[in-house]
Amino acid sequence: MAIKKDLSIDFLGVKCENPFFLSSSPVGSNYEMVAKSFEEGWGGVFYKTVGIFVADECSPRFDNVNKEGLPWVGFKNMEQISDKPTEVNFENMYKLKRDYPDKIMVASIMGSNDEEWRKLAKMCDEAGVDLIEGNFSCPQMTSHAMGSDVGSSPDLVRAYSKAVSETTKIPFIAKMTPNITSMEVPAIAAIEGGAKGIAAINTIKSITNIDLENMTAMPVVNGKSSISGYSGAACKPIALRFIAQMLQNEKLKDIPISGIGGIETWRDGLEFLLLGCRNLQVTTAIMQYGYRIVEDMKNGLMHWMDERGYNKLDDFIGKALGNIVPAEDLNRDFKIYPQFDDEKCIGCGRCYVSCYDGAHQAIDWDAERRRPVLNDNCVGCHLCLNVCPVANCITPGEIKWKDGREQIDIAMKHNYE
């Protein structure tokens, strides 16, 4: 029997049927695409960013990074904001909201000055959108007056947030750039300007590959290339870090956040929710697998909720945030030694090689049995566990307390499947 759980959630006063949205990107850039995504079950869309400026795109404009034959680990996108006329985009948003009134329409906008931000905000009002996102973070704009150069300037973020918030009563979300040391600074500036929520993160400035034929970066555009945005699974750790830091900041702890960056599975989405996000945006996974992945995400999340006894998202949103502490607050009184399951071990020797060449020479190799043997050099770093290709073959084992340290009950991870 199918498991059904309540995935609805309130985000900035708007009731969403589920937290899974298309992010403002190529995956939601016209009526037909968004309509199809709604039919597939997405809760809403951050429509591809619209500006007064209409993009003139290059070709090709995508590249990817993989590892050992895996699907995309990371994805490079040199596409800018919408290449369609501004009026056409807002007309599409109006029709989508008319035809799918229960779905959430978020207009993502980008201006190059105060006047343009105000004009776009008025057009959002006329289109009847539910929410507005301010794109302060696109890393591949051809003008320094737009995109991530704006997002790294707290004064501009504050001013443009104020321009939109003074023009419309529609809740405004500021989309942050990760191409900065501290995201809290522009995020606080956005809230000071009137933004009600934060979206994070946008893509990371990158060069993904060097083409050996044309001696330039990828993708190759008439023998040249450019630095531009990196997305996909490789960006998730960076996104989670920035989001945690913002939600642990006293001035931002109660601000609703839309999480973006490497969400490809239900578990990825769950991790953002556990940090405290109330909305999830997806692009790169859709580009690989299509809109239908939302069913996998919803079903996986509902099964996990059923296993844990949760009935709604608010039962567990933010549960992990308080357990992420400064490095100086970690308990350093003990070591947890790895234990090896000889029955599961395939005798590949990766743990031995990695420990000897990259750690503490704490594993001896029994050549006759082709099995690892732990020695007294072990410091409990668990590199061996991380390189082992067999799930739960190497797991945490004996706890050893450092001399003179107080022994307490230890919470640790047991299952690595």
Is residue 24 within 8 Å of residue 136, measured between CB atoms?
A: no
Domains in the chain: ranges and CATH: 9-323 (3.20.20.70), 331-401 (3.30.70.20)
Q: Tokens 């953002």 label which residue?
A: 272
303: its two tokens: 């099964």
CA dihedral 29, 30, 35, 38 (to 10 degrees): 10
Report pLDDT for 147: 72
No. of H helices and E strands in the chain? Answer: 12, 20
- Asked if 388 is an active-site residue, the reply is no
Is residue 44 within 8 Å of residue 101, measured between CB atoms?
A: no
pLDDT tens for the chain, residues 1 to 417: 578 999 999 999 999 999 999 999 999 999 999 999 999 999 999 999 999 988 899 999 999 999 888 788 999 999 899 999 999 999 999 999 999 999 999 999 999 999 999 999 999 999 999 999 999 988 777 667 777 788 899 999 999 999 999 999 999 999 999 999 999 999 999 999 999 999 999 999 999 999 999 999 999 999 999 999 999 999 999 999 999 999 999 999 999 999 999 999 999 999 999 999 999 999 999 999 999 999 999 999 999 999 999 999 999 999 999 999 999 999 999 999 999 999 999 999 999 999 999 999 999 999 999 999 999 999 999 999 999 999 999 999 999 999 999 999 999 998 888
Question: How far does CA 408 lie from the centroid of its chain?
Answer: 36
Query: What would the pLDDT profile of 329-338 be if each residue is shown by its tens digit?
Result: 999 999 999 9
Query: What would the pLDDT profile of 299-333 be if each residue is shown by its tens digit?
Result: 999 999 999 999 999 999 999 999 999 999 999 99
Closest to 411 (Cα-Cα) out of 338, 334, 340, 341: 334
Active-site residue identified among 16, 58, 124, 138: 138
| H helices present in 128-249, as ranges | 148-151, 154-167, 184-192, 236-247
pTM (predicted TM-score): 0.96
Give the CA radius of gyration of the chain: 24
